[in-house]
Amino acid sequence: MKTQGLADPIRGPIADVRELAGPDALLMYGAATCEDTAVTRSRLRALGVPFREIDVDLDPAARDRLSELERGRPRTPTLVFGDRALIAVEPSLQELDDLVAAAGYPVNPPVATEYHGSRASSPLPLWILPSVGGNSFSLESIKGRHPAAIFFAHDATCLACYGYAKRLAKQCEALAEAEAVPIVVVRSEPEAAAHWRQEITEDVTILADAAGAWKSAVAGALDEPPGFAALIVVDRFGAPRAGSFALEAGGLIAPAETAAWLRFLALECPEWGGEIPWFDGEGATS
């Protein structure tokens, strides 16, 4: 993310933004076809932050203003707080949370639910799904070796979900440090979701759950809404340990928080980290 006009997010020009809190205090230059705009819009709605949006593809004058702000390199979304007191370009969800909080908006960012008891004692329902790359995948293939961060998206046409998936992909390095596998599950046929691969690294497994069967089974096992977007952190034995569900992808926990959850759970549970043998319930160890 690039910001202008603010050295310290707590002091200085941002104080002027606090006094302007309202529908015109935050302006977003976006585009209807931009997935990063879509997930940012979704996040602002989830946080309850009022904003005004201008589609630069439909407003040539707005594109000219954005080009001026960006010194000839207009990018969406670009957020302008107050009278240009702060300009943020393509912020991550975590950065966006911090920005609107520093601007004085009373926001409560999404938090994950940590699963205990029966919900965390059994692996998620195992499903074999086709991947965008043409192979098939099941959690069974990584059982005992890798934890996973699983994003259950809406269908392949959902730009907010696509934007969220791209941001999860940016966490690949942090997830790899925890030996975790990032997985994106799209409720579409593989061919329909194939374009997601264009901007999502091969390190992310993209699965097609055309009928939404696996998503529904997982939601049922966790007693969560089946139609929501979801991010689930599972241990190396496929058991769910933390989850975030929301009507739109922007209402989920920030993708950066998944690595933090993995580190926390590894410290909490030696079996999670593979430091001691894990009993599979039948007297055997893995």
- Per-residue pLDDT tens digits for 41-98: 999 999 999 999 999 999 999 888 888 887 778 899 999 987 766 789 999 999 999 9
For the segment 90-115, the average pLDDT, to the nearest whole number, is: 93
Percent over 90 (pLDDT), the chain = 67
C-alpha–C-alpha distance, residues 167 and 172, integer Å: 10
C-alpha–C-alpha distance, residues 86 and 83, integer Å: 8
Confidence of residue 200 (pLDDT cuts 50, 70, 90): very high
Count each helix (H run) and each strand (E run) in the chain, helices first: 10, 13
Confidence of residue 24 (pLDDT cuts 50, 70, 90): low
The letter for the amino acid at 102 is A
For the segment 223-232, the average pLDDT, to the nearest whole number, is: 95
Does residue 210 surpass a pLDDT of 50? yes
C-alpha–C-alpha distance, residues 208 and 215, integer Å: 11
DSSP 214-275: HHHHHHHHHT--TTSEEEEEE-TTS-EEEEEEESSGGGSPPTHHHHHHHHHHHHH-TTTTTS
CB-based contact 85:103 (threshold 8 Å) = no
Go through the domains of the chain in sequence order and give each one's CATH number: 2-102 (3.40.30.10), 113-268 (3.40.30.10)
Which pLDDT score is estimated for 93?
Answer: 96
Which pLDDT score is estimated for 3?
Answer: 54
For the segment 164-170, the average pLDDT, to the nearest whole number, is: 97
For the segment 91-120, the average pLDDT, to the nearest whole number, is: 92
For the segment 196-201, the average pLDDT, to the nearest whole number, is: 93
SS3 category, 79 = strand
Does residue 286 surpass a pLDDT of 70? no
SS3 category, 194 = helix
Which pLDDT score is estimated for 110?
Answer: 96
Which pLDDT score is estimated for 156?
Answer: 97
Which pLDDT score is estimated for 4?
Answer: 53
Residues 6+ apart with CB under 8 A from 8: none
C-alpha–C-alpha distance, residues 137 and 223, integer Å: 24
Q: How many residues does the chain have?
A: 286
Which pLDDT score is estimated for 269?
Answer: 63
